[in-house]
């Protein structure tokens, strides 16, 4: 029998206050695409960090080709033949593709490297331009740099962490082709994901983690997406419920020809964005991260000041030049993408965090003095209604899990009885139970006549939740279309669109 | 055979320790005393006697206590103002300059109307003192909000400008014509002097202001929307922006509070213990108050206690010069050691020491 390429036996890793990995076994055969499945916080990242030498196991054994080894750091992992592409790329935006590749390798002649780079890229169907600057590249192109960078070191095992989270469906297909070529050469791939359909299509074996423990080993094609999800989550999951769309012509949010420059270097400017959200309607904005979602959100909250041109009307009042708190007074609430540091302050209590955005609208301030006992009661109300698991109302925001904190933040906004809720990445990094609860609350609010704008990278969420769908790409927004009338493929094309003719692609789809 | 290697390592705490936050200033003071004893020993002085002179003697007599409180006054006022700015993450290092600017502008009525007996002159001086400090702090505020200039550098450099301006005025245009050429202004008229509280002691109305003010600020920080905004702005600027707390407004307000209180401290100093402007009106109050702010955990009542503790080292230092022949520099040394230990122990509020054992398989 051929020895396994990599074998983990009884791996344990303990962090203060949590057992991240507990007695985990994992075997990867040569030429295998092995899926590592699990929800956020299941311990996937911790496990691969130990394989890549970023962390060290407290207990357990790592065998490489049947031999017990110790991986001290990423350099020794690379020397063994282990390469890794992280979810968050480690590229310098103001350098070219070639320079970024050269930085990760031992010093060498750049011209020789260029030849090698182009050769490897062509061999695996990874389209790359050595001299283009990274800030100018799409997420898919950036990922290709990372992959080629690994391949130049001739790895036996390639670890990919959520590689499709930044790709359009079409780009994902290209990536899968490359991966199949790699395993045909006898290389192995450890594929970390929570997208079940692609795991079923791609992976020969799967190891499923839950709460830091290995709960199952299976062959993905023999499972259904539903059965994989149940193994991953540990109980039945209900799909997002359809709901009756109440017809209304009442406009809650009207954005006309909005253009706003990004404050960030290499950020994405919002260009000529137009859309309307009616009462009783959920508008979904799909798009790959970094295409102007953050800037659009900031333009809507007003936190980065008035736009360069265009207008924003909330509840039929011109809010274009209004400060954030005045927009909230009109009946709008906002749930931004960043939970810690933007939506909530980590070192403040939940009570203080409740006050953060609700103070004015809920009337907790009189003559500049805060009525903390009223805020305290309001906080209790949020924790009860939204089933937030916390040690108490005075628990620090940093002590909550991602899902619980998001439930708290959404609860804080929804209990202000808004007419309009604008929410960005509502369930990103949130466990399935909390995600379902958040979806239900947004739907409930809209059923009562409010309007919702949902900005999300998750196409399942967009299609499951929204009545109208638009796509943001390089700061341009496509014309919103009813969800029933467009396909995932059409949305995928728009996500990758790089020109202004977005509307045409949708019309032809 | 595995080789056991016990090691001490820092481990992040899940939540900052509340007890460590209050324990670390006390530990810092204790270790400062121990280190001080060692230094005295090396200098050939009896550590017991020297420490007694430094830390205990100032508190054993009414006049000593009065002197400590008089000395603590400016430190508390400036320290409270700086605490508010530091909480918001605005690093005003130039309180010394704002102190001098407040003393200069606040003293102007007393110098120009040197025969005045109008009771309104004193409130006018206090007001001008505050405005002087604010004006000096407005320079880093403008430069930071307009050009994103670093307030640490700007406020610090303005200290030297203020010092030179003071020296110029007391040697030139504002010099006392009857002063035999010595640098210094005329003595202030009685109406321009803060009343002393008990005859025979120097403790005065300004001292009372310095003791009451921290309590008011404590209330404001805990109960008002403004206090909340300071806290949010200091710990999460993006969250502050999201909640509509304007960055420029916070920079302005915190610098105005810090500058205004430093300026008030300056004019109080000029119109109480000194009674005129002289080239050296501050023994470095503005800088020492930075230690006071941190020793007091950026809490207004903490600044009150820390101001008194640091004042003891000033008064003790004077006593030590006279009765034990110790150099004046020892006072600065003590203040430095306190800050050093405090910063070291601060680590323990966020981290804890744990023993770890690395087992290495012997080859």
Q: Give the Cα-Cα-Cα angle B217, B219, B221 (nearest 5 degrees).
A: 65
User: Which residue from A69, A54, A56 is spatially nearest to A5, judged by alpha carbons?
Assistant: A69
Whether chain A has a CB inside 8 Å of the CB on B238: the answer is yes
Domains of chain A: 6-233 (3.40.50.300), 314-417 (3.40.50.300)
Instruction: Report the pLDDT value the prediction gives residue A400, as an integer from 0 to 100.
Output: 84
Q: Do A347 and B16 touch (CB under 8 A)?
A: yes
Ranking A165-169, A296-300, B341-345 by mean pLDDT, the lowest is A165-169
| B contact test, residue of A59, A339, A348 with most B CBs within 10 A | A348
Instruction: Report the pLDDT value the prediction gives residue A502, as an integer from 0 to 100.
Output: 39
Residues B71, B63: Cα–Cα separation, whole Å: 12
List the structure tokens of A317: 């009042």
Q: Chain A partners of B15 at a C-beta cutoff of 8 Å? A: 396, 398-399
Ranking B38-42, B72-76, B249-253, B285-289 by mean pLDDT, the lowest is B38-42
List the structure tokens of B249: 């407004």
Residues A494, B336: Cα–Cα separation, whole Å: 62
Residues B311, B92: Cα–Cα separation, whole Å: 22
Q: What ranges in chain B are assigned the alpha helix state H?
A: 18-42, 47-51, 62-87, 95-112, 121-147, 151-171, 205-223, 225-235, 237-242, 247-269, 285-295, 300-323, 329-350
Q: What ranges in A290-369 are assigned the alpha helix state H?
A: 293-301, 324-329, 350-358
Instruction: Report the pLDDT value the prediction gives residue A158, as an integer from 0 to 100.
Output: 94
Q: Do B242 and A357 touch (CB under 8 A)?
A: yes
Q: Judge whether residue A329 has pLDDT over 90.
A: yes
Q: What's the rounded mean pLDDT across residues B56-79?
A: 93
CB atoms near residue B138 (< 10 Å): 16
Complex prediction ipTM: 0.80
Phi-psi region of A136 (alpha: psi -120 to 50; beta: other; left: phi over 0): alpha
Q: Do B14 and A301 touch (CB under 8 A)?
A: no
CA dihedral (A179, A182, A183, A185) in degrees, to 10, reads: 160
Residue with more model confidence, B13 or B302: B302
Q: Do A301 and B242 touch (CB under 8 A)?
A: yes
Ranking A84-98, B138-152, B203-217, B254-268 by mean pLDDT, the lowest is A84-98
pLDDT bin (cut points 50, 70, 90) of residue A499 is very low
**Beta strand segments in A287-344, E:** 309-314, 317-318, 332-335
Q: Tell me the per-residue pLDDT of A242-291, one tens digit each, with 9 for 90 and over.
A: 666 666 789 999 999 999 998 877 788 999 999 999 999 999 999 887 88
pLDDT bin (cut points 50, 70, 90) of residue A227 is confident
Residues A486, A491: Cα–Cα separation, whole Å: 7
| Residues whose CB is less than 8 angstroms from the CB of residue A83 and which lie 6 or more positions away in sequence, other chains included | A150, A151, A153, A155, A157, A158, A159
User: Which residue from A219, A222, A238 is spatially nearest to A230, judged by alpha carbons?
Assistant: A238
User: Which residue from A413, A447, A453 is spatially nearest to A252, judged by alpha carbons?
Assistant: A453
Whether chain A has a CB inside 8 Å of the CB on B15: the answer is yes
Residue of B12, B225, B239 with shortest CB distance to A16: B12
Q: Judge whether residue A498 has pLDDT over 60.
A: no
Domains of chain B: 52-351 (1.10.3470)
Per-residue b/e over B103-128, b at no fewer than 16 CB within 10 Å? bbbbbbbbbebeebeeeebbebbbbb
Q: Do B243 and A304 touch (CB under 8 A)?
A: no
Q: Do B224 and A302 touch (CB under 8 A)?
A: no
Instruction: Report the pLDDT value the prediction gives residue A171, as an integer from 0 to 100.
Output: 83
pLDDT bin (cut points 50, 70, 90) of residue B14 is low
List the structure tokens of B228: 């909340």
Which three-class secondary structure state does DSSP give residue A91? coil
Q: Chain A partners of B9 at a C-beta cutoff of 8 Å? A: none
CA atoms within 13 A on the CB side of A383: 20
Q: Tell me the per-residue pLDDT of B265-284, one tens digit each, with 9 for 90 and over.
A: 999 999 998 999 999 999 89
Q: What's the rounded mean pLDDT across residues A231-240?
A: 73
Q: Do A303 and B242 touch (CB under 8 A)?
A: yes
| A contact test, residue of B238, B247, B358 with most A CBs within 10 A | B238
Chain A residue with CA closest to B358: the answer is: A58
Q: What percent of chain A has pLDDT over 70?
A: 95
Instruction: Report the pLDDT value the prediction gives residue B35, as an integer from 0 to 100.
Output: 92
| B contact test, residue of A370, A373, A375 with most B CBs within 10 A | A370
Whether chain A has a CB inside 8 Å of the CB on B168: the answer is no
| Residues whose CB is less than 8 angstroms from the CB of residue A181 and which lie 6 or more positions away in sequence, other chains included | A124, A125
Residues A211, A479: Cα–Cα separation, whole Å: 42
Whether chain A has a CB inside 8 Å of the CB on B235: the answer is yes
Q: Do B11 and A16 touch (CB under 8 A)?
A: yes
Instruction: Report the pLDDT value the prediction gives residue A500, as an integer from 0 to 100.
Output: 39
Which three-class secondary structure state does DSSP give residue B359? strand
Q: Do B244 and A370 touch (CB under 8 A)?
A: no
Which three-class secondary structure state does DSSP give residue A15? strand
Question: pLDDT averaged over chain A?
Answer: 88
Chain A residue with CA closest to B361: the answer is: A70
Phi-psi region of A315 (alpha: psi -120 to 50; beta: other; left: phi over 0): left
Instruction: Report the pLDDT value the prediction gives residue B317, as an integer from 0 to 100.
Output: 87
CA A158 to chain centre: 22
- Closest Cα in chain B, distance from residue A345 (Å): 6
Task: Name A485's bridge partners.
Answer: none
Residue of B11, B223, B235 with shortest CB distance to A345: B235
How are strands ordered across the β-sheet holding A317-318?
Answer: A270-278, A251-260, A309-314, A317-318
Q: Judge whether residue A497 has pLDDT over 80.
A: no
Instruction: Report the pLDDT value the prediction gives residue A333, as an integer from 0 to 100.
Output: 96
B positions 310-329 inside 8 Å of A (CB): none
pLDDT bin (cut points 50, 70, 90) of residue A469 is very high
- Closest Cα in chain B, distance from residue A289 (Å): 19
Residues A194, A39: Cα–Cα separation, whole Å: 7
Per-residue b/e over A134-161, b at no fewer than 16 CB within 10 Å? beebbbbbbbbbbbbbbbbeebbbbbbb
Residues A292, A262: Cα–Cα separation, whole Å: 8
Residue with more model confidence, B151 or B29: B151
Phi-psi region of B103 (alpha: psi -120 to 50; beta: other; left: phi over 0): alpha
**Residue A35 near residue A48, CB atoms below 8 Å:** no
Residues B170, B113: Cα–Cα separation, whole Å: 16
pTM of the model: 0.78
Q: What's the rounded mean pLDDT across residues A91-116?
A: 88
Q: Judge whether residue B75 has pLDDT over 90.
A: yes
CA dihedral (A495, A497, A500, A505) in degrees, to 10, reads: -90
């Amino acid at each position: 029998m051929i020895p396994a390429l990599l074998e983990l036996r009884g791996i344990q890793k303990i962090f203060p206050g949590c057992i991240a990995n507990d007695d985990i076994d994992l075997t990867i055969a040569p030429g295998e695409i092995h899926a590592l499945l699990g929800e956020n916080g299941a311990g996937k990242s911790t496990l691969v960090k130990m394989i890549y030498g970023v962390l060290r196991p407290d207990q357990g054994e790592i065998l490489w080709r049947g031999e017990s080894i110790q991986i001290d750091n990423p350099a020794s992992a690379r020397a063994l033949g282990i390469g890794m592409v992280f979810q968050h790329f480690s590229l310098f935006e103001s350098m070219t593709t070639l320079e970024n590749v050269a930085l990760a390798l031992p010093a060498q002649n750049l011209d020789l490297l260029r030849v090698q780079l182009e050769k490897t890229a062509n061999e695996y169907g990874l389209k790359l331009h050595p001299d283009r600057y990274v800030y100018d590249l799409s997420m898919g192109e950036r990922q290709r740099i990372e992959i080629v960078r690994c391949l130049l070191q001739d790895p036996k095992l390639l670890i990919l962490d959520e590689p499709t989270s930044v790709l359009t469906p079409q780009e994902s297909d290209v990536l899968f082709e490359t991966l199949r070529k790699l395993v045909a050469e006898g290389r192995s791939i450890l594929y970390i994901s929570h997208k079940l359909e692609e795991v079923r299509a791609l992976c020969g074996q799967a190891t499923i983690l839950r709460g830091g423990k290995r709960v199952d080993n299976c062959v993905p094609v023999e499972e259904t997406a539903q059965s994989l999800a149940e193994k991953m989550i540990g109980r039945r999951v209900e799909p997002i419920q359809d709901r009756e769309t109440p017809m209304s012509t009442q406009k809650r949010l009207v954005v006309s020809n909005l253009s706003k420059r990004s404050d960030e270097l290499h950020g994405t400017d919002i260009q000529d964005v137009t859309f309307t959200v009616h009462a009783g309607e959920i508008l979904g904005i799909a798009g790959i991260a970094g295409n102007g979602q953050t800037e659009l959100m900031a333009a809507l909250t007003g936190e980065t000041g008035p736009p360069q041109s265009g207008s924003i009307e909330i509840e039929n009042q011109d809010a274009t030049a209004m400060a954030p708190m005045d927009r909230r007074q009109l009946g709008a609430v906002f749930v931004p993408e960043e939970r810690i540091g933007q939506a909530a302050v980590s070192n403040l209590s939940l009570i203080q965090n409740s006050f953060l955005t609700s103070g004015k609208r809920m009337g907790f301030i009189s003559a500049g003095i805060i009525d903390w006992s009223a805020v305290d009661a309001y906080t209790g109300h949020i924790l009860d209604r939204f089933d937030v698991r916390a040690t108490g109302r005075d628990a620090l925001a940093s002590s909550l899990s991602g899902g619980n904190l998001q439930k708290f933040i959404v609860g804080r906004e929804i209990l202000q009885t808004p007419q309009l809720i604008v929410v960005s990445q509502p369930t990103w990094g949130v466990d399935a139970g909390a995600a379902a609860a958040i979806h239900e609350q947004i739907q409930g609010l809209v059923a009562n006549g409010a309007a919702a704008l949902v900005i999300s990278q998750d196409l399942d969420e967009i299609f499951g939740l929204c009545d109208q769908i638009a796509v943001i790409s390089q700061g341009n927004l496509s014309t919103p279309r009813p969800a029933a009338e467009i396909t995932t493929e059409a949305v995928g094309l728009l996500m990758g669109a790089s020109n202004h003719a977005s509307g045409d692609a949708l019309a032809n789809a | 055979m595995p080789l056991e290697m016990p090691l001490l390592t820092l481990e992040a705490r899940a939540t900052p320790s509340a007890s460590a936050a209050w324990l670390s200033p006390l530990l810092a003071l204790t270790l400062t005393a121990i280190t001080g004893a060692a230094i005295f020993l090396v200098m050939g002085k009896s550590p017991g006697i020297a420490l007694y002179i430094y830390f205990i003697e100032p508190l054993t007599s009414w006049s000593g206590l009065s002197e400590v409180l008089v000395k603590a006054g400016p430190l508390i006022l400036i320290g409270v103002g700086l605490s508010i700015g530091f909480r918001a993450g605005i690093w005003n290092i130039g309180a010394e300059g704002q102190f001098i600017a407040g003393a200069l502008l606040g003293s102007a009525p007393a110098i120009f109307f040197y025969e005045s007996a109008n009771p309104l002159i004193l409130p006018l001086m206090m007001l001008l003192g505050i405005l002087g400090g604010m004006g000096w702090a407005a320079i880093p505020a403008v430069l930071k909000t307009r050009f994103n200039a670093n307030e640490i550098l700007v406020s610090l450099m303005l200290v030297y400008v203020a010092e030179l301006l003071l020296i110029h005025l007391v040697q030139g245009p504002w010099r006392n014509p009857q002063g035999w050429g010595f640098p210094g202004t005329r003595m202030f008229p009685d109406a321009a002097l803060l009343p002393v509280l008990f005859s025979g002691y120097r403790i005065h109305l300004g001292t009372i202001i310095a003791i009451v003010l921290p309590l008011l600020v404590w209330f404001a920080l805990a109960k008002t929307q403004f206090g909340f905004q300071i806290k949010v702005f200091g710990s999460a600027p993006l969250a502050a922006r999201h909640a509509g707390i304007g960055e420029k407004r916070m920079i302005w307000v915190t610098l105005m509070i810090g500058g205004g209180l430093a300026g008030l401290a300056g004019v109080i100093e000029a119109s109480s213990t000194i009674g005129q402007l002289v080239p050296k009106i501050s023994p470095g109050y503005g800088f020492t108050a930075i230690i006071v702010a941190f020793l007091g955990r950026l809490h207004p009542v903490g600044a009150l206690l820390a101001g008194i503790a640091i004042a003891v080292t000033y008064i003790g230092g004077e006593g030590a010069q006279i009765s034990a022949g110790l150099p004046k520099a020892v006072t600065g040394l003590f203040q430095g050691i306190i800050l050093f230990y405090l910063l070291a122990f601060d680590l323990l509020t966020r981290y804890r020491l744990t023993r770890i054992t690395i087992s290495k398989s012997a080859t």
